[in-house]
Chains A and B, each alone.
Chain A
Amino acid sequence: MERPLTELIDLREGPLAREAYEHAGGYEAARRAVCDMPPREVIKTVEDSGLKGRGGAGFLTGMKWGFVPAGDDAPRPRYLICNADEMEPGTFKDRYLMEGNPHQLIEGMIIAAHAIQAEIGYIFLRDEYHRSAEALRRALAEAREAGYLGDSVFGSAFSCDIHLHTSAGRYICGEETALLNALEGRRAVPRAKPPFPPVVGLFGKPTIVNNVETLCCVPHIVSKGSKWFRQLSLTSDGGTKIFGVSGRVKNPGLWELPMGTPLREVIEGHAGGMRGGYRFRGVIPGGASTDFLVEEHLDIPLDFESVQKAGSRLGTGTMIVLDDRTCPVGMVHNLERFFAQESCGWCTPCRDGIPWIQKTLAAIEAGRGRPDDIELLHMHTRHLGPGRTFCAFAPGAMEPLQSALKYFDDDFRRHIADGRCPYNNHQTGNSNGNHHH
């Protein structure tokens, strides 16, 4: 089984240095793309590969690049941004790629920058990833030194530099337009779409934002071709995918697997199944803002379309497992507290609706729930859906809640009827308050 993105990674050895990376064939794709391939051809190749964004929304990468206005009178400069904010709870895949093989990301960015003719690139990294920052900083310096960044990349007419920007912490910064505001030194409130970033982006100029994993796929697509990339997958969405599992499984971790690998194989095979004494109850398949899947879904293939059909989203592909001794209400409360906390405060439903949800869940969990609360929660999931809030944050926040209400309805009702949480392993302790500023 091919693992193009991760085969060179060994975290015990630290980040792969440039020499080792080049020894394994690194930077050849970038050199070829920049020196020999016209931008349109690069875009075409990526389009044909069927690469879909790995940041959660699953948009076709090549198609997105094609939206950047081309031609001599198109606005300049253009920007390429790598979204390395990775603050979605349960998600830890980008960190692995950056700490393990930073040059792979840089190479992907060089190719992407060339494809859209961007002269400036940024890596927008969350502040807590100190090790990633170190690895990237060193790798950027190495690449610059080698002439792969800066003026005339690989000796070509193309010039591009990449800067590392570390964030100051806010989940909403990962939303690509909020990210633009953060990069401009403003409050990270999302922007209105349309216009979309490929047309009006950073500093008002055409901008492409891509996830770390997405960009890491690019060198491999260029070097081995779009057909090869498609056949890596078991389904129609091309490539491999880094899947992760956390929760009470025997062997939590990350694995690069073919797109379309069945959910059961990931949880029971790679993650080793549930720890002794625990049973599987459900899983959030792609980070905090995706719907729960349960027992009946274990055999679905993990690709964008299939997971959607099952009523959830592939999201980031990093899943959080709920076991039978953990309170689902408590788990959803934890998630909604996160969302209430991280709402940017721009639009009403999210800013004032999610705290209400969170307080209601806290009350239920603490045995102070009321029968009407369930309907109130349902009402919120309806009214915080797509289109009703300014950005996708709040609809994302509703996904685990609405599916929990569906699959764990009994648990909610028991809490309210009994006036206490029937699971005694989780007390609502300190972490119920709002302590971030």
Chain B
Amino acid sequence: MLSEEEKREIEAELPHYERRQALCIEALKIVQKHHGWVSDEAVRDVGEFLGMSPHQVDSVATFYNLIYRRKVGRHVIHVCDSVSCWVLGCDAVQDRLCEILGIKPGETTDDERFTLLPIPCLGACDHAPAMLVDKDLHGDLTPDNVEALLERYT
């Protein structure tokens, strides 16, 4: 079941679109904001709320990179792996992150603290390599400075 708050937030967006189903992505993001990810149940709930089948919702949900259909950790690290960051050594940064967290890209730490996901260009190419932790953008990364950056995310 969607919570009252989720419903309210989705409904607040309704007047901005010509058809209810146009809210599909918005609604999934609202659910994700509250739960961290989009479960099968959430897919069904969103569908019911918008007059779509769960299949139709999932068709949309699975298309987009930032709708998580699997559980993620408390903090999501999106490390840029696109060209400018690559030129400036994002592979080494990512390898270092994997080493610190003890996981591979796409995985979540055992304590569910972090999920590490590579992401296309974050638009921070002048400060490459860059990563996004939750909503915070961090640039000019090196294998040596990332560990300290993660400390504030508990």
Contact = CB atoms under 8 A, between A and B. Distances in A.
A and B touch in the complex (CB under 8 A): yes
B137 interface: yes
A191 B50 CA distance: 24
Contacts of A86: 123
A288 interface: yes
Contact of A334 (B25, B86, B135): B86
Contact of A169 (B17, B66, B83, B87): B66
A254 B123 CA distance: 12
Interface string A166-190: 1111110000000000111111100
Interface in A182-205: 182-188, 202-203
Interface stretch (B1-9, B88-96, B146-154): B88-96
Nearest to B32: A168
Given A90-B83, A323-B87, A436-B65, A168 B28 contact: yes
Contacts of B122: 128
A326 B25 contact: no
Contacts of B28: 168
Contacts of A90: 82-84, 121, 125
Interface residues of B, number: 53
A322 B87 contact: yes
A435 B78 CA distance: 11
A247 B25 contact: no
A279 interface: no
Interface stretch (A48-56, A110-118, A423-431): A423-431
Nearest to B13: A163
B137 A326 contact: no
Interface string A318-351: 1011110010001100110010011010000000
A323 B87 CA distance: 9
Given A165-B26, A342-B120, A426-B91, A187 B126 contact: no
Nearest to B98: A430
B104 interface: yes
A253 interface: yes
17 contacts: A87-B120, A88-B121, A90-B125, A129-B123, A167-B25, A167-B64, A169-B65, A185-B23, A185-B25, A245-B126, A246-B87, A288-B83, A320-B83, A331-B86, A334-B83, A428-B91, A430-B105
Given A95-B123, A166-B29, A288-B121, 20 more contacts: A87-B121, A89-B82, A92-B121, A127-B66, A128-B123, A168-B25, A168-B28, A168-B66, A170-B63, A171-B120, A185-B23, A187-B59, A245-B126, A246-B87, A247-B84, A254-B126, A320-B83, A342-B120, A430-B98, A437-B69
